[in-house]
């Protein structure tokens, strides 16, 4: 994958093999985050980003006075990559008896791509950077690279005012590129938007890159984050806010390489899909999928987490 602001979908067009392009496209179709998140390839395993800290101090002066010199400062942050992947093994019996070789392998690679996309989505939010994974959005926000807004001291039901305040916290642009949430909160937004303002609709319908319908609130796409590979809700009502342990979060994110939230891929953007064919050690066909992802927040006003939301 070439360096620059490429979505994973765009990068998939340049895959070296049909199998590779198929795995990447399956990843995207399973993950709204991978569909929208711009990626840039880096040569090593980490990237250094200068985050604006303070600004110089302009001042007024009288005639014959001098200025007090000042300068702005930046904080250097390092964002690293992790290694995500695994091996696919298909027994000879499945390849030779139950299906032809191509379709049997395609099904298994498709399943593995689905599991990888769900794993990436989970760690996009929950990655700590300390357990072989990359640091996710929640950890980066807690490090000061993002904004947090509590719905209530002990959790509170969603209101449109909360969403408007969340939009206002996103100072990098007038509105976010996406709202990420679970299905229940999307229904809550639909109900609020239909009933709060008589004769005015804040809900519309758009499409994603595959032509599928997507609900939009106030012009911003609402994308659903589903389950991880084990079937557990990634953004479920399992967060604690004060005395409530049944709250969830909504994320407003602005994407953009070098300026907002974006993904990095180590080793120059490498996405390896290898099919080794039949192995000598075991009666089956072996393949391997591997990628080196990470997340960068270059602007602390490009992501806002509205947490403590009850249903």
User: Domain of 291: which CATH number?
Assistant: 3.90.1690
pLDDT band at 231 (very low <50, low <70, confident <90, very high): confident
Backbone angles phi, psi at 7, to 5 degrees: -75, 160
Question: 148 in a domain, yes or no?
Answer: no
Q: Are the beta carbons of 111 and 105 closer than 8 angstroms?
A: no
Which strand (E) or helix (H) includes residue 111? Answer: helix 101-126
Q: How many domains does the chain have?
A: 1
Q: Are the beta carbons of 292 and 83 closer than 8 angstroms?
A: yes
User: How far is it, in rounded angstroms, from Cα 5 to Cα 7?
Assistant: 7
Question: 68 in a domain, yes or no?
Answer: no
Q: Does residue 282 register a pLDDT over 80?
A: yes
Q: Which domain holds residue 277?
A: 6-52+77-142+153-310
Q: Does residue 112 register a pLDDT over 80?
A: yes
CA 205 vs. chain centroid, Å, equals 22
Q: Does residue 94 register a pLDDT over 50?
A: yes
- The answer to which of 10-14, 255-259, 294-298 has the lowest mean pLDDT is 10-14
Q: Are strands 213-217 and 38-41 parallel, antiparallel or unpaired?
A: unpaired
Q: Does residue 1 register a pLDDT over 50?
A: no
Count the neighbouring beta carbons within 10 Å of the beta carbon of residue 279: 12
What is the average pLDDT across 229-248?
Answer: 93
pLDDT above 70 covers a percentage of the chain that reads 87
Tens digit of each residue's pLDDT (9 = 90 or more) over 49-79:
887 778 899 999 999 999 999 998 888 888 9
Model pLDDT, residue 2: 34
Q: Are strands 239-241 and 244-253 parallel, antiparallel or unpaired?
A: antiparallel
Q: Are strands 261-265 and 244-253 parallel, antiparallel or unpaired?
A: unpaired
Question: 69 in a domain, yes or no?
Answer: no
User: How far is it, in rounded angstroms, from Cα 282 to Cα 295?
Assistant: 38
Task: With CA atoms as reference, report the closest residue to 248 among 161, 171, 157.
Answer: 157
Question: 64 in a domain, yes or no?
Answer: no
pLDDT band at 311 (very low <50, low <70, confident <90, very high): confident
């Amino acid at each position: 994958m070439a360096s620059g602001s490429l979505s994973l979908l765009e990068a998939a067009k340049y895959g070296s093999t049909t199998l590779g392009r198929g795995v990447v496209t399956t990843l995207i179709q399973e993950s709204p985050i991978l569909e929208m998140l711009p990626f840039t390839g880096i040569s090593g395993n980490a990237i250094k980003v200068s985050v604006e800290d303070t600004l110089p101090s302009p001042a007024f002066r009288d005639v014959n006075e001098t200025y007090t010199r000042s300068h702005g400062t930046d904080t250097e942050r390092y964002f690293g990559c992790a290694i995500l992947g695994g091996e696919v093994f298909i027994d000879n019996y499945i390849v030779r008896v139950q299906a032809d070789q191509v379709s049997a392998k395609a099904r298994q690679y498709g399943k593995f791509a689905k599991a990888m996309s769900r794993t990436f989505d989970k760690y996009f939010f929950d990655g700590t950077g300390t357990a072989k994974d990359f640091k996710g959005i929640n950890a980066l926000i807690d490090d000061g690279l993002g904004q947090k807004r509590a719905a209530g001291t002990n959790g509170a039901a969603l209101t449109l005012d909360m969403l408007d305040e969340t939009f206002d916290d996103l100072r990098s642009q007038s509105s976010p590129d996406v709202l990420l949430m679970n299905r229940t909160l999307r229904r809550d937004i639909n109900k609020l938007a239909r009933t709060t303002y008589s004769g005015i609709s804040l809900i519309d319908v758009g499409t994603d890159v595959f032509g599928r319908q997507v609900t939009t609130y106030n012009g911003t796409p609402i994308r659903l984050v589903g389950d991880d590979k084990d079937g557990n809700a990634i953004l479920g009502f399992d967060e604690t806010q004060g005395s409530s342990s049944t709250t969830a979060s909504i994320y407003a994110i602005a994407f953009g390489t070098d300026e907002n939230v974006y993904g990095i891929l180590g080793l120059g953007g490498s996405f390896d899909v290898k099919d080794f064919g039949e192995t000598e050690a075991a009666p089956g066909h072996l393949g391997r999928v591997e990628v080196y992802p990470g997340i960068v927040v270059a602007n602390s006003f490009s992501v806002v987490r509205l947490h403590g939301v009850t249903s």
